[in-house]
Amino acid sequence: MMSLNRSCFLGNQAIAGSSSPFSHSQKRRSASLKVVALVPKVRTSDRNGSVVMESTLQEVKDESSVVELKSTVHGGVQDVYGEDTATEDQLVTPWSVSVASGYTLIRDPHHNKGLAFTEKERDAHYLRGLLPPVVISQELQVKKMINCIRQYLVPLQKYIAMMDLQGRNEKLFYKLLIDHVEELLPVVYTPTVGEACQKYGSIFTHPHGLFISLKDKGKILEVLRNWPEKNIQVIVVTDGERILGLGDLGCHGMGIPVGKLALYTALGGVRPSACLPVTIDVGTNNQKLLDDEFYIGLRQKRATGQEYAELLQEFMTAVKQNYGEKILVQFEDFANHNAFDLLSKYGTTHLVFNDDIQGTASVVLAGLVAALKLVGGSLADHRFLFLGAGEAGTGIAELIALEVSKQTNIPVEETRKNIWLVDSKGLIVSSRKESLQHFKKPWAHEHEPVKELVDAVNAIKPTVLIGTSGAGRTFTKDVVESMASLNERPIILALSNPTSQSECTAEEAYTWTQGRAIYCSGSPFPPVEYEGKVYTPGQANNAYIFPGFGLGLIMSGTIRVHDDMLLAASEALASQVSQEDYDKGLIYPPFTNIRKISAHIAAKVAAKSYELGLATRLPEPKDLEKYAESCMYSPSYRSFR
């Protein structure tokens, strides 16, 4: 097992090969590595762990010379590196390059197995004494961890424990997450990740992901090269301006790319080392954060206009330069005034997709297609009303219109007319067209102005009501009752995240419709008992699509995202809803089978990509689904020789 030690940040300690103050035996020193010592007047700084240090290291003949060197830094007993007397202005170079073994091995989250290191591995890798005697299986570790997580009553504590595990033992983290996906998804993802982002500065212990800020302008390529992994396949990037329905959380938005990429691995099987979470910090307009002493980002108002565009341009150029043409960039939780422009600007030059606009659209379309089994008719027979006309709302609306257009051969300009949207100013109608943001204009149909949602429901008479407003409790009793009076089985999707922003709760939806609603929410709700019957709400969340979608793009070497791939993903997801799910009133399959579902989605997306001539991995694998499964990361421990 020859690999570079990835952890090179050890404060003022310098670990020089086998001369780490913690790790290695004399036997190993003499066998494989020369003893080196750090001379205190070191000034060269090191990058990347690839060490060039001629002037800083002296090969020493024996241990006594080390002691002599020690004395030049006036440390205490055995204080080879002068740590006892170290001051902040005493320069040292943090460097490390070695086969991970001993202490560095158990500190390396990619290789660490904790108590599951075998006796043989403990002998071969200098672990004796660093671990208690017991050797346990990964299964037992999972059992212990899930028990431990269940002890925490506060969701944020569970989140912290999970992040701690991810930073300590990556394989165990993923095995735990995969084996208990239904239970842990709400911890590493919505809703808890929302609270984690709100409190990110306070709970911050060590960095996850790559932080790129305005300070790095002109040096983004160098920043990317600081990341220890070189073979990145997917980047999830945010600028933190619209984190779930919680608004501008600036640099604290990092929880989102980290969480999304954990799902890329756990749900979609993309290897963790190929995933790069990025937060682009251009400041924040959230005064509360700017005043928060624990805020971890730039303490300034958001850069906009040219300054913003230039930083994004530099980032997008650098990622392609560093990772190649086929790097997948997923935009996440940008505010809509940037999101649509970034997508259209980079959609033609990069492999990009916006999860909030496109991933959400694909998921919701899948749910609607599945719902037809319960309510009857075709998509064209239904009428849709949205509360919220931003990224998610107009993204979903457009994909529905496209699908109906394909099914009916009616131009999309026409099929849009069955779809209506309400924003913070009321129903989007033609008289408002001049003042509308560009992405709302296609939805400005002829109608008199309507201010209130309930009046819009009564005027439009939708069969489907979709909440994408980010505003909680906006599907009020009168709104839901109107839907129930218009429809035998009203479809009500309260997509806003986290739970606090849900347009209505599951309990409200079932109670106000006397159990007739087909209800899903963006963040999960527990089952509801209404008049002696138990109703299981579904979760309509883009997490169903983006991991498999991304896997499909990556495994086929796709170079550009095409709308037809989103439609293919929708169809693939809808096909995974079983009769048993329908019998429970569900329009999405449970997350327990998500890896299988993701493989299916990946295969269909890849097939579409090959059909469109956008896939570069040739020849096309014969059985794409099997191929997808074979590409999926397994969190089982490997044996170390």
Ligand X SMILES: NC(=O)C1=CN([C@@H]2O[C@H](COP(=O)(O)OP(=O)(O)OC[C@H]3O[C@@H](n4cnc5c(N)ncnc54)[C@H](OP(=O)(O)O)[C@@H]3O)[C@@H](O)[C@H]2O)C=CC1
Minimum separation from the CB atom of position 148 to ligand CC(=O)C(=O)O (A): 27
Distance CA 276, CA 597 (A): 23
Distance CA 221, CA 99 (A): 27
What sign has the CA pseudo-torsion 588, 591, 597, 602?
Answer: positive
Q: Which is nearer to ligand CC(=O)C(=O)O, 40 or 498 (CB)?
A: 498
Which of 126, 174, 189, 323 is catalytic? The answer is 189
Minimum separation from the CB atom of position 466 to ligand CC(=O)C(=O)O (A): 14
Distance CA 354, CA 392 (A): 10
Q: Which is nearer to ligand CC(=O)C(=O)O, 463 or 497 (CB)?
A: 497
Report the residue from 241, 356, 391, 581 that binds Mg ion according to the rule CB under 5 A. Answer: 356
Q: In the annotation, is 260 catalytic?
A: yes
With beta carbons less than 8 A apart as the criterion, state whether 358 and 474 touch: no
CA neighbor of 231 nearest in space, from 95, 328, 330, 96: 328
Residue 81, number of CB atoms within 10 A of its CB: 23
Q: Which is nearer to ligand CC(=O)C(=O)O, 159 or 323 (CB)?
A: 159
If contact means CB under 5 to 8 A according to the sort of partner, which of ligand CC(=O)C(=O)O, Mg ion, ligand X, none does residue 424 touch? ligand X
Q: Which is nearer to ligand CC(=O)C(=O)O, 234 or 603 (CB)?
A: 234
Cβ-closest position to ligand X: 390
Please give the single-letter amino acid code of residue 260. Answer: K
CA neighbor of 344 nearest in space, from 291, 268, 395, 303: 395
CA neighbor of 79 nearest in space, from 68, 89, 87: 68
Supply 232's token pair. 């990145």
Cβ-closest position to ligand CC(=O)C(=O)O: 497
Minimum separation from the CB atom of position 529 to ligand CC(=O)C(=O)O (A): 27
Q: In the annotation, is 189 catalytic?
A: yes
In the complex, which residues of this chain contact ligand X (CB under 6 A)?
Answer: 242, 244-245, 336, 356, 360, 363, 387-393, 422-425, 468-471, 474, 495-497, 501, 522, 540-542
Strands (E), 155-286: 210-213, 234-238, 275-281
Angle at 239 between CA 609 and CA 439, to 5 degrees: 60
Distance CA 351, CA 460 (A): 38
Binding flag, residue 423, Mg ion (CB under 5 A): no
Q: Which is nearer to ligand X, 327 or 387 (CB)?
A: 387
Binding flag, residue 333, Mg ion (CB under 5 A): yes
If contact means CB under 5 to 8 A according to the sort of partner, which of ligand CC(=O)C(=O)O, Mg ion, ligand X, none does residue 468 touch? ligand X
Q: What is the footprint of Mg ion within residues 44-103 (CB under 5 A)? A: none
Residues that contact Mg ion, how many (by CB under 5 A): 3
Q: Which is nearer to ligand CC(=O)C(=O)O, 391 or 508 (CB)?
A: 391
CA neighbor of 365 nearest in space, from 487, 466, 296, 269: 466
Q: Which is nearer to ligand CC(=O)C(=O)O, 23 or 497 (CB)?
A: 497
If contact means CB under 5 to 8 A according to the sort of partner, which of Mg ion, ligand CC(=O)C(=O)O, ligand X, none does residue 393 touch? ligand X
Binding flag, residue 248, Mg ion (CB under 5 A): no
Distance CA 342, CA 280 (A): 14
Minimum separation from the CB atom of position 196 to ligand CC(=O)C(=O)O (A): 14
Q: Which is nearer to Mg ion, 470 or 589 (CB)?
A: 470
Which of 113, 260, 440, 608 is catalytic? The answer is 260
If contact means CB under 5 to 8 A according to the sort of partner, which of Mg ion, ligand CC(=O)C(=O)O, ligand X, none does residue 388 touch? ligand X
Distance CA 301, CA 576 (A): 46
Binding mask 124-163 for Mg ion (x = CB under 5 A): ----------------------------------------
Q: How far is CA 519 from the centre of its chain?
A: 25
First to last CA, the chain: 7
In the complex, which residues of this chain contact ligand CC(=O)C(=O)O (CB under 6 A)?
Answer: 190, 244, 333, 355-356, 497, 522, 541-542
CA neighbor of 431 nearest in space, from 413, 449, 419: 449
Minimum separation from the CB atom of position 467 to ligand CC(=O)C(=O)O (A): 12
Distance CA 417, CA 531 (A): 38
Minimum separation from the CB atom of position 601 to ligand CC(=O)C(=O)O (A): 17
String of DSSP letters for 523-579? S----EEETTEEE--EE--GGGTHHHHHHHHHHHTB-S--HHHHHHHHHHHHTT--H
Q: Which is nearer to ligand CC(=O)C(=O)O, 170 or 356 (CB)?
A: 356
Residues whose CB falls within 8 Å of the CB of residue 494, separated by 6 or more in sequence, listed in order: 467, 475, 502, 503, 504, 505, 509, 519, 520, 521, 522
Where in the sequence numbering do the catalytic residues fall? 189, 260
Q: Which residues bind Mg ion (CB under 5 A)?
A: 332-333, 356
